[in-house]
Structure 1
Amino acid sequence: MPRTSETPDLPQALTGIGGTALGVALLRAQESRRPDRLFDDPFAERFLAAVPDGGSPWAADRTSGASSPFTAFHRLVADQVAVRTRFLDDALLAAARDGRTQVVLLASGMDTRAYRLDWPAGTTVYELDSADVLTFKRTVLTEQGAAPRCRCVEVSADLRQDWPEALAGAGFDPGRPTAWLAEGLLYALPSEGADLLLERITANSAPGGFLAFDHAEDTDALRAARAQVAPELVALWQGGPGEPGPWLAEHGWAPEVEDVAEAARGFGRPAPPAFDPDRPGSARGWLCTARLTA
């Protein structure tokens, strides 16, 4: 899709959580072109095409040639993003079909699950992110004639502020069973920030609430690969909560944690290089679901 005068700029294209949204869109677009793809995101490529020249290195390098600075980064994380996307797709759909038809996508970025998944009738998906990210995404999807496959509610909020208030103002009911998604988020928070995020999720969850997320450690190889893309991405990893299982249990959640390498093998993929336990210097990566027990 060519950029039009009505397509808004994305000023956060290289900063923080919002800045990684286009990088994830790039990886999802590449996965969607594979004949053995784990999912199909027909909109990911459109977000990249809508960014003006120079607006983001992620958008500028959609082909990832051999000489690209993205090559090392993609080699390390592409399979991890593909596997986590499919894993979290399946987890959220299962939760919604089990009666948790109120779904909250935290730091939703270029997530298009509201548009591409087969949600059960009565599902409401709340997309929470900054106003500029939400506006950019909505404009691109509207130009494509895309329509959500559920009730989709945008919530403009900063996760560093009182986002539960903004969520409630958009119609969210904490008394209803809810499925929460925190994808590509926890490792970018300091430990105290991850604690606060989970405390707020817990405080706004009815018994039986459901949470799905991914988490990963950082490594020298990952830091070096991010530095080749953009220097500001080096500090993206802040550590998050550490081991996700004990952390969830401490906050009243019953966790189910799967190693990302094992999940990849379950989908017929090799272990992602950055998280392959057979490779020296690799990191641990996890895919997690949990149910509120308190």
Structure 2
Amino acid sequence: MSSLTETGHWIACARACESLRPDRMFEDPVAVEFIRRTEPELYEELRTRPAARFDVLALRTKFFDDYLVRTAASGAIRQVVILAAGMDGRAFRLPWRPDTVLYELDLPEAVEQKTEFLARHRPAAERCRRVPVAADLTADWPRELLRAGFSSALPTAWLVEGVLYYLGEQQADTVVGQVTELSAPGSALGLEQVNTDLYHAPWMQDWLQKMRDEGRPWRSGVNDPESWLAGWGWRAAVFEPCDLPESAGRMIPRTPPRGTPGAARTWLVSADLLDTPTAS
């Protein structure tokens, strides 16, 4: 299992943990069944003792769930792409229109693992047409997506969650540029990134070192996500986890106002495509 495939396993743990809480923000049957089958002791622990250490990831999941539900509600977008999908269960649990096509793109190893798991232990029926796509974001993933049936002529809802900071700054820019080039007018983008001050925050150093030791170093950040995305023609609404109403009563770090130097930040973004690509 590659280090980034392990990240998908960890996110499944977080989503299973949230799903098993009595005050859950969402319920992910794929994540619950995956952890129950692969780590039964952890499953019993999460079932009896909810872990606050996953609160930020649960809140992030809820934010992007809401973004995707909003984009689907109008009926104008019937094509969805999740980059670095891992064990994502949104094809099974969000209220998609039946003619929605959802492409799940990830490394070949991750796609194979999920395919084999679902073949044995499918916990729910898909609510849309799910299309797995095996591709590496640092290679020619647009070609593989197009080969799988994706149409760049149709408006698309993109989700780029929990992956950009694993890429170098140039690679992260390249991915956003490729997403833009593949996006028809009316497309939407959900995206997560961090700021560069995060890499210097004292309280983040142990975590960043742990990620390096495990072969999953964080590498990139953006200080002004609105301007960054505007350069590609996207109008962005940017939030931090502590801005969201669901953060009340959860272990979510509070951050000082925007513009305060030295503050580590996580950006949760939903954006609309307004212009033709104007890549910087």
Q: TM-score, normalised by structure 2?
A: 0.84
Matched, 1:19 2:6: yes
Partner of 1:91: 67
Match of 1:109, as an amino acid?
G
Cα distance, 1:229–1:130 mapped onto 2, change above 3 Å: closer
Partner of 2:259: none
For 1:102-113, list aligned pairs within 5 A.
102-113=79-90
Query: After superposition, what is the alpha-carbon deviation per residue over 1:48-78, rounded to whole angstroms, capped at 9, x for unaligned?
Result: 34448xxxxxx875537xxxxxx8xx63xx2
The number of residues matched between the two structures is 260
Listed as ranges, the gaps of 5+ residues in structure 1 are 1-10, 53-58, 65-70
1:43 and 1:226 mapped to 2: Cα distance?
29
How large is the Cα RMSD of the aligned pairs?
Answer: 2.5
1:138 and 1:147 mapped to 2: Cα distance?
14
Query: After superposition, what is the alpha-carbon deviation per residue over 1:132-176, rounded to whole angstroms, capped at 9, x for unaligned?
Result: 211211222232233311000011101111101000000000000
Shift of 1:190: 1.7
2:249 and 2:192 mapped to 1: Cα distance?
18
1:224 and 1:164 mapped to 2: Cα distance?
35
Quick check: 1:261–1:270 contact (8 Å CA) kept in 2? Answer: no
Partner of 2:246: 267
Matched, 1:283 2:264: yes
Q: Name whichever of 218-227 and 238-247 sits farther off.
A: 218-227
Quick check: 2:212–2:218 contact (8 Å CA) kept in 1? Answer: no
Q: Name whichever of 42-51 and 282-291 sits farther off.
A: 42-51
Instruction: Say which of 139, 151, 158 aligns to 2:136.
Output: 158
Quick check: 2:191–2:269 contact (8 Å CA) kept in 1? Answer: yes
Instruction: Say which of 203, 207, 212 aligns to 1:221.
Output: 203
Query: After superposition, what is the alpha-carbon deviation per residue over 1:12-35, rounded to whole angstroms, capped at 9, x for unaligned?
Result: 2xx13x221011111111111111
For 1:117-156, list aligned pairs within 5 A.
117-145=94-122, 146-156=124-134
Listed as ranges, the gaps of 5+ residues in structure 2 are 257-261, 276-280
Query: After superposition, what is the alpha-carbon deviation per residue over 1:163-215, rounded to whole angstroms, capped at 9, x for unaligned?
Result: 01000000000000000000101222221111100110010000121000222
Task: Give the secondary structure class of the aligned counterpart of 2:193.
Answer: strand
Shift of 1:125: 0.2
Partner of 1:181: 159
Task: Give the secondary structure class of the aligned counterpart of 1:161.
Answer: coil
Partner of 1:29: 16
2:98 and 2:121 mapped to 1: Cα distance?
24
Cα distance, 1:230–1:188 mapped onto 2, change above 3 Å: closer
Quick check: 2:85–2:105 contact (8 Å CA) kept in 1? Answer: yes
Task: Give the secondary structure class of the aligned counterpart of 1:267.
Answer: helix
Match of 2:223, as an amino acid?
G
Match of 1:277, as an amino acid?
T
